[in-house]
Structure 1
Amino acid sequence: MRFGTVKQFEPRSPYGFIDDDMNHKSYFVFYTAIKEEGYKRLEVGQRVKYELAQGKNGLQCVNVYLAD
């Protein structure tokens, strides 16, 4: 698992970006990648753990969980 910080998340068009701790790049995240219970939303500045997978337009975040 990788760790990062939510850089941006748009609840009206549920997508955003996560800044990766290891390489300081930003990766796309779509709300369906969030694996938490209830309403799937991320807050700017929130710490998360996730995996990267190849999407249609490059690497993107999948299996996103709030970091403990």
Structure 2
Amino acid sequence: MRYGKVKQFDRNSSFGFITDDENQKSYFVFYTAIKEEGYRRLQVGQKVKYQLAQGKNGLQCVNVYLAD
């Protein structure tokens, strides 16, 4: 798993970006990738752990969990 912080997340559009702790690159995240109960959303600055997968426009975050 990789670790990062939420850079941006638009609740209305249900997508955002996570900045990776190691390489400081930002990756796209869609709300369906968030593995939390109830309404899935992220807040700016929140620590998360995730995996990267190839999407149709490049690498994107999948299996996103709130970091402990």
Aligned to 2:40: 40
Q: Does 1:22 align with 2:22?
A: yes
Identity of aligned residues (%): 79
Partners of 2:65 and 2:45 lie apart in 1 by 14
4+ runs deviating over 3 angstroms: none
Map Cα deviations across residues 1-58 of structure 1 (whole Å, 9 max, x no partner): 0000000000000000000001100000000000010100000000000000000000
Aligned to 1:11: 11
Please, which runs of 5 or more residues in structure 1 have no aligned partner?
A: none
Q: How does the TM-score come out when normalised to structure 1?
A: 0.99
Please, which runs of 5 or more residues in structure 2 have no aligned partner?
A: none
Q: How does the TM-score come out when normalised to structure 2?
A: 0.99
Computed over aligned residues only, the root mean square deviation of the Cα atoms, in angstroms, reads 0.3
Amino acid at match of 2:55: G
Amino acid at match of 1:28: F
